[in-house]
Structure 1
Amino acid sequence: MNLLSYLPSGIIILNIIFIILLIFFERKDPTATWAWLLILTLIPVLGFILYLFIGLTPKKRNHFLRKQRENDLKELNFGGETGIMDVDNLDFDDLEKSVIRIGLRCEKPSVVGYNKLDIYTNGRDKFADLFKDIDNAEKFIHASYYIIQDDNLGDEFIHRLAQKAAEGVEVRLLYDKMGCRNLSRYSIHKLEDAGGEAVPFAPFVLDINYRNHRKNVVIDGQIGYLGGINVGNEYLGLSSRFGHWRDTHLRIRGESVDSMQYRFLLDWNFASGKDIKRGEYYFPKKEFEGHSPVQIVSSGPDSKETEIKFFFLKMIYEAEKTIFIQTPYFIPDQSILEALQLASRSGVDVRIMIPGHSDHPFVYGANNSFVGQLLEAGARCYSYSRGFLHSKTISVDSRILSVGTTNMDVRSFKLNFEINAFIYDSEIARGYDEIFLKDIEHSREITTEKYKNRGWTMKVRESISRLLSPIL
């Protein structure tokens, strides 16, 4: 008998075995498990290949567990960070204390430091200051980016780093292998030939998940940059596809730069295989004395807990007046969605702002699907129409503001390596709320009536995207 006749039966048997194994290994995340079961059932062979590329296989899980154990050991080398660990006897209100304690009691405690802050809402202002700070660097420049494009801005960024390396400044560039897939080897060699170091973050070959989504720059241990703006012409608003690019980024001067440095060195050691230890050289006494309390929090697939999501949840549940959220990807898990629904039904002014168009397939449909559920709960939702909204912020009661790399989606909560700053300064939070309200003037409100009257093609798109949302 022809062996090919057994092929369909063999595929079915192997698929059933794989489904059983999947249920066993993914038992901690039933929503993702059901999404993968759907894919494996509908497209058996292709579904298996997709899982190898983007799923959390046992090999990957063990790899992250090893990274977690290595981070625990390296904490002994780095020592503690500057900042406050005891908030009970300090001048924080009850809301601030309740959120701060989440970080102090997480797997990796995050302290509170005092800083001077600058907030950028566009790439031009951010890179004008960043390039000045790079040019003025005297000791070291540590930069981690998810995307560095091979374009004019990318060339200028690499050129300035290479210049400082040639002057004898320590330059280390950590770039995500997938996000920087368009970055040429010429650019990397240019930096290395000048004396700098460049290392790709690539935990697994041919894997499109588990990306280092952090944008984290530390200069001389005195200045830090953190937020949503990557390196590329589109972030300057020069893309014909996206037009004006609305984003949010921070410049931090003060104690919390140590937390950013600590995070960079852990990531660098993991990606490079080297072991840079803590010392006064990388954690110097701070030249700037600010008054804005900041808590730097990071999370990723190597964490036992979803730390940044915990912070978001606590902020939402403790809100009494307002919750303002900007995110390019609004694909929350059930806990975040229900918290926002409950807040809105309790009388809190919940407002969500998403882009008017998406930069990824399926995301626009998924965004709309979840927005519809919030509209039913009484929340107000807006579609930013001036250009592309890439800002990742959440503000509560004009008292606490979070700015960082974390989107309001499952990918950022569980799959990506992220970093956020939580700012406990009512003046800054109020200032950002004014920016949010100004952005509403460039947005279209998504009313319940408009949502109900959407076309059938959008309804189909939403349904498909919603099924795939746990793995988007």
Structure 2
Amino acid sequence: MEFDWSLLFRIIVVINAAFAILTVFREKRDIAAIWAWLLVLVFLPIVGFVAYAFIGRQLPKNRLFKLHSHVQMQIDERLLEQRRQLGSELKTASDDISLRAISAVNLFSETDSSFLARQNKVKIFTDGKSLFHRVIEDIENAKKSIHIEFYTFYNDEIGNEILNLLVKKAQQGVEVRVIYDSWGSMGTTKKFFKPLLDAGGYAYPFLNTRSVVLDFRLNFRDHRKIIVIDGMIGYTGGFNIGDQYLGRKKKFGNWRDTHLRIIGSGVFGLQARFILDWNATSSKANIEEEKVNAKFFPVTTTKGSVNMQIVSSGPDSDLQQIKMGYIKLITLARKYCYIQSPYLIPDDSVLDALRMAASSGVDVRIIVPSMPDHPFVYRATQYYARQLAEQGIKVYYYDNGFMHAKTMVIDDSMASVGSANMDYRSFKLNFEINSFIYDNKIASELKDLFLRDVDDSTLQTPEMFEKQPWWLKFKQTFSRLLSPIL
């Protein structure tokens, strides 16, 4: 009797489909992600399940945030005290921020408990050399504490320079704490940080996932970039710690990014976020209630002019606070909305906001890289660039190296600078942090930087996309189908 291979094949297909359905539906996720994963699991039976093991599994809720509620309460009380001392309560519509900005302030206050930090001094950095020169200078002058949290902390030239300085400060009695992401810092192990540990400092991989192999997940990465020195000086933005961010890698060449140096009450938002992430990560050296005091939240006498809010988002919340902030700024734009992002994979809500703005006469422009660092992500970016160009939105490919800045600026009045890209991953799967700024001077400076980058970019027209070969369009369309899981 001849064996019926076709019957075996049909049985395997049915069993695979059943497992695919059970696998995808057993965890809560949105409809777009469900269909994307079903597509992968059904049509790529073995490869699909391997991919799901890496990037599909949810992180257990009990691991997302094992926070100490009393410490959270102490942080909230400390911030409230600072707000009272600084007079930073939002009072009336005639205050020193615009009527339009008040709705954004209220949004973040409600969804992220983010307070309006007033009178900050803010400096913008766009190249790694000047940024790290200033970071090193500030670390050298630290007296009490140095808190560092980065997606990438590479074991390379600048990584070792920063590490050696941290070791030196720890030996001087400064409290040094470092959080790094095990996937983003691939190649950097606990052994790399041993000199710091020996000097009395601390270093942990985010959520204590000690290796890429044991972690076995590409999702739920700590994509935040935070430095807080003595509770007085803060840094946040798009740069990580690594040689490529100083333009030392031939693959990328010039690295175009945007980072902020903050002095003032805006630093408290960065400090609070770091403490919460630290207590979710560290296994031995938690920051306890009695330590959440003036040491980490000193009263500032800074007399700057910048009003801002520090906003964080991540898979520990369903609110997608930073995405809502992006949509809010887009819908508030009356004259222009300029966006920079290395990845352009927006969901339907962001797409609709961009289309409505453009259809309302707002000058919407977006700059993305002209080179890939992740093939599927880049092809999906090209797909959405084509769609938006056909909607009358100006999309540019940056030609002077790699564009890694994550910025948005509208109408010379409001702006955002941070770690969150314009994509699904930053909106839902990564832990992110952004500064939302309400200041004409900073907004105008970011606009000028954007227009300068336009001069180093190529406008992508619908005609240019139409001339692309069919196989390239196919790769873009196929990558777009995977957008919810990229």
Fold shared by both chains (TM-score > 0.5) = yes
What is the match of residue 52 of structure 2? 51
Q: CA 1:35 to 1:71, structure 2 compared with 1: closer, same or farther past 3 Å?
A: farther
What is the match of residue 166 of structure 2? 161
Q: 2:309 aligns with which of 273, 295, 303?
A: 295
Task: Give the superposition deviation at 1:308.
Answer: 0.4
Q: Does 1:437 align with 2:451?
A: yes
Q: 2:396 aligns with which of 379, 382, 403?
A: 382
Q: CA 1:288 to 1:207, structure 2 compared with 1: closer, same or farther past 3 Å?
A: same
Task: Give the superposition deviation at 1:63.
Answer: 3.0
Q: Does 1:95 align with 2:112?
A: no
Task: Give the superposition deviation at 1:148.
Answer: 1.3
Q: Does 1:226 align with 2:236?
A: yes
Give the whole-Å Cα distance in 1 for the aligned partners of 2:331 and 2:165: 45
What is the match of residue 244 of structure 1? 254
Kindly provide the amino acid, as one letter, of the partner of residue 396 in structure 1.
Answer: I
What is the match of residue 62 of structure 1? 61
Alignment of 1:176-187 (within 5 A): 176-187=181-192
What is the match of residue 312 of structure 1? 326
Give the whole-Å Cα distance in 1 for the aligned partners of 2:9 and 2:62: 34
Give the whole-Å Cα distance in 2 for the aligned partners of 1:245 and 1:294: 26
Q: CA 1:107 to 1:258, structure 2 compared with 1: closer, same or farther past 3 Å?
A: closer
What is the match of residue 38 of structure 2? 37
CA contact (8 A) 1:222 1:254 kept: yes
Give the whole-Å Cα distance in 2 for the aligned partners of 1:292 and 1:71: 32
Q: Tell me the TM-score normalized by structure 1.
A: 0.94
Task: Give the superposition deviation at 1:222.
Answer: 0.3
Task: Give the superposition deviation at 1:329.
Answer: 0.4
CA displacement, residues 218-260 of structure 1 (integer Å, 9 cap, x when unaligned):
0000000001111111111111111110000000000011110
Kindly provide the amino acid, as one letter, of the partner of residue 272 in structure 2.
Answer: Y
Deviates further, 189-198 or 328-337: 189-198
Kindly provide the amino acid, as one letter, of the partner of residue 275 in structure 1.
Answer: N
Q: CA 1:201 to 1:65, structure 2 compared with 1: closer, same or farther past 3 Å?
A: closer
Give the whole-Å Cα distance in 2 for the aligned partners of 1:127 and 1:121: 11
Task: Give the superposition deviation at 1:152.
Answer: 0.7
CA contact (8 A) 1:229 1:235 kept: yes
Give the whole-Å Cα distance in 2 for the aligned partners of 1:55 and 1:88: 46
Q: Tell me the TM-score normalized by structure 2.
A: 0.91
Kindly provide the amino acid, as one letter, of the partner of residue 194 in structure 1.
Answer: A
The list of structure 1 runs, each at least 4 consecutive aligned residues, that deviate by more than 6 angstroms after superposition, is 4-7
CA contact (8 A) 1:222 1:287 kept: no
Q: 2:129 aligns with which of 124, 133, 142?
A: 124
What is the match of residue 258 of structure 1? 268
CA displacement, residues 155-181 of structure 1 (integer Å, 9 cap, x when unaligned):
101011111011110000111111112
The percent of aligned pairs where both chains have the same amino acid is 43
What is the match of residue 75 of structure 2? 78
Give the whole-Å Cα distance in 2 for the aligned partners of 1:279 and 1:214: 24
CA contact (8 A) 2:226 2:274 kept: yes
Q: 2:286 aligns with which of 275, 294, 302?
A: 275
Give the whole-Å Cα distance in 2 for the aligned partners of 1:292 and 1:108: 19
Task: Give the superposition deviation at 1:10.
Answer: 6.8
Q: CA 1:220 to 1:464, structure 2 compared with 1: closer, same or farther past 3 Å?
A: same
CA contact (8 A) 2:224 2:419 kept: yes
Task: Give the superposition deviation at 1:65.
Answer: 5.7
Task: Give the superposition deviation at 1:26.
Answer: 4.8
Kindly provide the amino acid, as one letter, of the partner of residue 75 in structure 2.
Answer: F
SS of residue matched to 2:149: strand
Q: CA 1:400 to 1:240, structure 2 compared with 1: closer, same or farther past 3 Å?
A: same
SS of residue matched to 2:111: coil
CA contact (8 A) 2:337 2:409 kept: yes
Deviates further, 287-296 or 131-140: 287-296
What is the match of residue 112 of structure 1? 117
Kindly provide the amino acid, as one letter, of the partner of residue 455 in structure 1.
Answer: P
SS of residue matched to 2:482: helix
Deviates further, 70-79 or 120-129: 70-79
Kindly provide the amino acid, as one letter, of the partner of residue 169 in structure 1.
Answer: V
CA contact (8 A) 1:110 1:297 kept: no
Give the whole-Å Cα distance in 2 for the aligned partners of 1:22 and 1:323: 41
Q: 1:335 aligns with which of 349, 356, 362?
A: 349
Give the whole-Å Cα distance in 2 for the aligned partners of 1:217 and 1:75: 20
Q: 1:395 aligns with which of 396, 409, 431?
A: 409
Deviates further, 127-136 or 198-207: 198-207
CA displacement, residues 309-352 of structure 1 (integer Å, 9 cap, x when unaligned):
01111111111110000000011111101110111111100000
How much is the aligned-residue C-alpha RMSD, in angstroms?
2.1
Kindly provide the amino acid, as one letter, of the partner of residue 226 in structure 1.
Answer: T
How many corresponding residue pairs?
Answer: 467
Q: CA 1:313 to 1:25, structure 2 compared with 1: closer, same or farther past 3 Å?
A: farther
Give the whole-Å Cα distance in 1 for the aligned partners of 2:109 and 2:101: 12
CA contact (8 A) 1:146 1:179 kept: yes
Q: 2:433 aligns with which of 405, 415, 419?
A: 419
Kindly provide the amino acid, as one letter, of the partner of residue 147 in structure 2.
Answer: H
Give the whole-Å Cα distance in 2 for the aligned partners of 1:299 and 1:203: 19
Kindly provide the amino acid, as one letter, of the partner of residue 310 in structure 1.
Answer: M
Task: Give the superposition deviation at 1:19.
Answer: 3.1
CA displacement, residues 179-231 of structure 1 (integer Å, 9 cap, x when unaligned):
11212444211111121110111466211111000010000000000011111
Q: 1:134 aligns with which of 131, 135, 139?
A: 139
SS of residue matched to 1:48: helix
Give the whole-Å Cα distance in 1 for the aligned partners of 2:91 and 2:377: 40
Task: Give the superposition deviation at 1:61.
Answer: 4.0
Task: Give the superposition deviation at 1:299.
Answer: 0.4
Task: Give the superposition deviation at 1:56.
Answer: 3.6
CA contact (8 A) 2:24 2:37 kept: no
Please, which runs of 5 or more residues in structure 1 have no aligned partner? none
Give the whole-Å Cα distance in 1 for the aligned partners of 2:186 and 2:72: 32
SS of residue matched to 1:445: strand
